[in-house]
């Protein structure tokens, strides 16, 4: 539908557009083959709110890793009901059932990269395989890797990744949330400023980076959805980067 040159041009133009304008363009251009991914943490609220106001029935993809805080799951259910959201829960491929059962307690600690690949990267790849566009909530101020992202990014398989909030800061998120009286994840009040899976998330101080509590001390800052890992569909392509042996899983 769009050439690489057109996407580059639009991406530059969108640097000065509002997130709502970018979302409207995305929905108008790719409906119904478009989906939004969300972790349902406090930082996710503005994008969920904007998108639901523009297209209430847009598909929202939620990665149910099996390791979420109960607070996250309850919050997601409450918000889905209150805002009438169209949420689809994603799970790991069933061929990993035995392996994940054998390593349920230890996988996030022993091999967090493998855990993220099985429970986040592969399920998201499968959910997006028939889509033309994917709306993500990443921001440039979150990590050094995300600082180099573009608002529109073609993936290797032709999927267009759209980052409407890329230019926003955490202050912008806070301002929008206050203006629209958006709900907050209950763990925010307990010091969890960026909330992922329970084994890999800790509370942090007020002066710490908001993502400092994610994979603390494990040399990891991203789950893989927004890194080179997402380009690989088969575990055989990147298994050398994992600690646990997965060669017996077919």
The span from the CA of 192 to the CA of 54, in Å, is 30
- Would you call 223 a catalytic residue per the annotation? yes
Burial bucket for residue 83 (CB in 10 Å: 0-12, 13-18, 19+): middle
With contact defined as beta carbons under 8 Å apart, do 29 and 134 qualify?
no
The one catalytic residue among 115, 197, 200, 223: 223
The span from the CA of 89 to the CA of 211, in Å, is 24
86 forms beta bridges with: 59
Q: 10 Å Cβ neighbour count for 117? A: 26
Task: For 61, list phi and psi in degrees, rounded to 5.
Answer: -100, 125
> Which whole-number Å values give the CA distances from 124 to 129, 181, 230, in the listed order?
9, 30, 9
Active site residues: 223
């Amino acid at each position: 539908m769009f050439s690489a040159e057109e996407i580059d041009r639009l991406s530059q133009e969108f640097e000065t557009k509002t997130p709502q304008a970018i979302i409207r363009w995305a929905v108008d251009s790719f409906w119904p083959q478009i989906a939004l991914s969300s972790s349902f943490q406090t930082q996710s609220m503005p994008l969920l709110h904007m998108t639901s106001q523009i297209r209430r029935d847009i598909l929202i993809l939620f990665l149910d890793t099996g390791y979420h805080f109960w607070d996250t799951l309850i919050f997601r259910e409450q918000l889905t009901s209150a805002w009438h959201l169209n949420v689809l829960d994603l799970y790991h491929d069933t061929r990993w059932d035995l392996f994940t059962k054998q390593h349920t307690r230890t996988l996030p600690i022993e091999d967090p990269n493998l855990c993220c690949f099985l429970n986040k990267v592969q399920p998201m790849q499968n959910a997006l395989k028939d889509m033309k566009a994917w709306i993500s909530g990443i921001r440039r101020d979150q990590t050094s890797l995300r600082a180099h992202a573009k608002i529109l990014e073609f993936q290797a398989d032709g999927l267009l990744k759209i980052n409407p909030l890329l230019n926003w800061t955490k202050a912008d998120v806070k301002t929008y949330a206050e203006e629209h009286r958006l709900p907050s994840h209950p763990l925010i009040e307990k010091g969890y400023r960026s909330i992922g899976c329970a084994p890999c998330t800790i509370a942090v101080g007020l002066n710490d980076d908001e993502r400092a509590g994610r994979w603390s001390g494990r040399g990891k800052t991203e789950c893989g959805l927004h890194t080179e890992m997402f380009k690989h569909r088969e575990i055989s392509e990147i298994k050398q980067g994992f600690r646990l042996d997965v060669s017996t899983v077919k």
